[in-house]
């Protein structure tokens, strides 16, 4: 589409009437002559955010190639996701930056783990855990301001979830990331690793199913963010079913799953900042942000909070603009009020990415 565009609607969270113009893919809030009106009513939101989305990991396992990355990013766009934080990718996705109609990606480099302590072929596995601070600094330089650690995983000798790193190494590693200007997040399912990671000053926790009153309080104190990836937690019973030789681990996973609504609900009640992430990639299909928004409402976020967790609040947290003049037009429009107990439709009624306009 060429020429100036014009949109009329209401914005959230303030619920005020708004008019926007798009010229050469850039947002304007002052009237522009001869613009084509593409939206006369509806709710206009900053493009949705999936804060945990692996475009580099193939569904079912393995690394995605170029065409699969483009296809996966397109599916995210069709769901209204125009910004994603990859939370770790085994492949370099920067080739996608050349496509101006695809979502923007905030990269976290490669997952950092130890041998046999994460999904095969995805992580950099450190035989010597003392190397973690150096490895973190390298990944901080390779990413876009985030580093991803594997905080806990099954330890086959213990037969249960167990932390990968000592509290001392974590402190040194997180300090090293901060010295590079990067934030750190970690995959955590169980209880103990949360004590160590939050105590060491980590910036965000992924999953967080093992949160207790103690670690919830610690996260509030440290202002640690949480991306619970609730639709991924739904796969825990399958993980448990496949854990034949490790009954203690299987029971632990089933228990974490059974309590998840209460756990994340209590974290929200305590005031922890929660953001929407689907964990699309290996075990979750792309394009499911609407399901995660609905799941967040299901554990106690209001519809407006859950939308903010997948749009304006997530953008502010990630340091990316919302509907701001002079910035690339990244927005979605819902014809009906999206603040419903069931969440939002799977596809917005209109999506604008720079100079590109999409309707389902
Ligand atoms: Zn993930």
How far does the centroid of ligand 1 lie from the alpha carbon of residue 144, in Å? Answer: 17
In angstroms, the first-to-last Cα distance of the chain is 16
What are the structural domain ranges in the chain? 5-44+322-358, 48-318
How far does the centroid of ligand 1 lie from the alpha carbon of residue 335, in Å? Answer: 32
Q: Are 112 and 147 in contact (CB under 8 A)?
A: yes
Q: Predicted confidence band at 3 (pLDDT cuts at 50, 70, 90)?
A: confident
Q: Predicted confidence band at 2 (pLDDT cuts at 50, 70, 90)?
A: low
- What would the pLDDT profile of 93-111 be if each residue is shown by its tens digit? 999 999 999 999 999 999 9
CATH match for 5-44+322-358 among 2.40.50.140, 3.30.750.24, 3.90.1150.10, 2.30.40.10:
2.30.40.10
How far does the centroid of ligand 1 lie from the alpha carbon of residue 148, in Å? Answer: 9
Omega of the bond prior to 320 within 30 degrees of 0, cis?
no
Q: Are 207 and 231 in contact (CB under 8 A)?
A: no
How far does the centroid of ligand 1 lie from the alpha carbon of residue 280, in Å? Answer: 7
How far does the centroid of ligand 1 lie from the alpha carbon of residue 58, in Å? Answer: 12
Neighbours of ion ligand 1 (CB under 5 A): 87, 279
How far does the centroid of ligand 1 lie from the alpha carbon of residue 99, in Å? Answer: 24
Q: Using the predicted structure, report yes or no on whether residue 242 has a pLDDT greater than 90.
A: yes
Cα separation, 204 vs 152, whole angstroms: 15
How far does the centroid of ligand 1 lie from the alpha carbon of residue 86, in Å? Answer: 8
Q: Are 102 and 128 in contact (CB under 8 A)?
A: no
How many CA atoms are closer than 13 Å to the CA of 191, on its beta-carbon side?
11
Q: Predicted confidence band at 338 (pLDDT cuts at 50, 70, 90)?
A: very high
Specify which residues 39 forms β-bridges with. 7
How far does the centroid of ligand 1 lie from the alpha carbon of residue 107, in Å? Answer: 12
Cα separation, 307 vs 276, whole angstroms: 9
- What would the pLDDT profile of 264-294 be if each residue is shown by its tens digit? 999 999 999 999 999 999 999 999 999 999 9
Cα separation, 103 vs 112, whole angstroms: 25
How many CA atoms are closer than 13 Å to the CA of 86, on its beta-carbon side?
30
3-class secondary structure, 278: coil
Residue 213 burial (C-beta neighbours within 10 Å; 0-12, 13-18, 19+): exposed
Q: What is the pLDDT of residue 63?
A: 94
Least confident of 1-5, 192-196, 242-246, 298-302: 1-5
Percentage above 70 pLDDT, the chain: 99
Is 48-318 a domain of CATH 3.20.20.140?
yes
How far does the centroid of ligand 1 lie from the alpha carbon of residue 281, in Å? Answer: 7
Question: pTM for this one?
Answer: 0.97
């Amino acid at each position: 589409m060429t020429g100036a565009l014009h949109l009329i609607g209401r914005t959230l969270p303030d619920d005020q009437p708004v008019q926007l113009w798009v010229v050469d893919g850039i947002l304007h809030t002052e009237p522009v002559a001869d613009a084509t009106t593409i939206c006369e009513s509806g709710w206009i939101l900053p493009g949705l955010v999936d804060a945990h989305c692996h475009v580099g990991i193939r569904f079912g396992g393995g690394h995605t190639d170029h065409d699969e990355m483009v296809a996966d990013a397109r599916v995210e766009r069709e769901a209204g996701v125009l910004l994603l934080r990859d939370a770790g990718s085994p492949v370099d996705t920067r080739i996608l930056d050349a496509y101006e109609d695809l979502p923007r990606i905030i990269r976290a480099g490669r997952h950092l783990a130890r041998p046999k302590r994460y999904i095969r072929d995805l992580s950099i596995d450190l035989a010597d855990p003392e190397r973690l601070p150096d490895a973190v600094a390298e990944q901080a330089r390779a990413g876009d301001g985030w580093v991803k650690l594997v905080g806990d995983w099954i330890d086959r000798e213990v037969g249960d979830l167990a932390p990968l790193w000592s509290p001392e190494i974590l402190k040194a590693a997180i300090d090293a990331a901060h010295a590079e200007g990067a934030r750190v997040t970690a995959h955590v399912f169980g209880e103990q690793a949360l004590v160590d990671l939050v105590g060491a000053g980590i910036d965000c926790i992924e999953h967080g199913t093992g949160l207790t009153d103690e670690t919830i309080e610690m996260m509030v104190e440290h202002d640690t963010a949480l991306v619970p990836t609730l639709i991924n937690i739904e796969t825990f019973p399958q993980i448990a079913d496949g854990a034949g030789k490790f009954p203690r681990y299987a029971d632990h996973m089933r228990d974490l799953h059974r309590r998840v609504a209460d756990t994340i609900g209590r974290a929200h009640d305590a005031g922890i900042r929660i953001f929407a992430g689907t964990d699309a990639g290996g075990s979750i299909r792309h394009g499911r942000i609407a399901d995660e928004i609905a799941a967040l409402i299901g554990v106690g976020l209001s519809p407006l909070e859950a939308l903010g967790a997948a749009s304006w609040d997530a953008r502010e947290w990630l340091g990316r603009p919302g509907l701001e003049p002079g910035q690339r037009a990244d927005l979605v429009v819902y014809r009906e009020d999206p603040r419903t107990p069931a969440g939002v439709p799977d596809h917005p009624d209109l999506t604008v990415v720079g100079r590109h306009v999409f309707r389902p």
